[in-house]
Amino acid sequence: MARQRHQSRIENRKSKIPRAFTMIEVLVALAIFATMAVVLVASYLNILTAYEVAGRGPAGELDVRFAREMLLAEGSLDAALAGADFEGADGGRVKWKAEVEPTETADLFLVTFTCEIEAAKESPARTVVETFRLLRPTWSQPADREALRAETRQRILDMQITSPLSGFGSGMSSGVAGGSNGGSGKGGGKNSGGKNQGQGGGKNQGGGRNNPASQNQGGRR
């Protein structure tokens, strides 16, 4: 009996020991990990390559971008019209200027940006012209701004008055109100007539029962 108990205890202890991974499971896990590592490394290298290619853009593009940023950062209209020049990435001179025209919207301008790049060692001379709209409150005169805002407000009011949908809501609401009033009038007429008829009929019938002629006939019988 003691030996059997000892063996049962040993078997219980063995059953409590957690089951380990088999060799096949370990190999499969390693294969999955290696595949994921290769994919992640390849993606990272592709991103680095893309950044490197983007950084190798033409020097002229960098010069145009820098000149455009100078225009966008300019807070004075006179300075924007005069433009500026600087030494480009290839050693050539870069000159830019802008033509500014006001629009019908306050503080919004139509800008024609011109950038001239001189010939350098690795790039020929070229001229870049771009047209875009730019919102610059500092370029506006106070009187012109107020006049444009007044014209905009008047234009919006005119559009609201002449719009075919301006009277749609009021006409629709009046039609709905008239229909509801007519329905209530009909219902009131019917109800009042019914009440009158019921009251009149009931009174007449009651009077027939209390007729003295009927009482006399009963007395004769």
> What distance in Å separates the CA atoms of residue 135 and residue 52, rounded to the nearest whole number?
34
Residue ranges of domains in the chain: 23-56, 59-159
Overall pTM > 0.75: no
Beta bridge partners of 110: 101, 133
Amino acid, single-letter form, for residue 8: S
In the chain, alpha helices (H): 2-16, 23-55, 59-72, 77-82, 142-162, 168-209, 212-220
**More reliable by pLDDT, 33 or 53:** 33
* β-bridge pairing 108-117 and 126-135: antiparallel
What's the number of CA atoms in the CB half-sphere (13 Å) around residue 126?
A: 12
- Look at residue 202 and tell me whether its pLDDT is greater than 70: no
pLDDT in tens, 41-60: 888 888 887 766 555 556 67
**More reliable by pLDDT, 168 or 221:** 168
State mean pLDDT over 20-31: 87
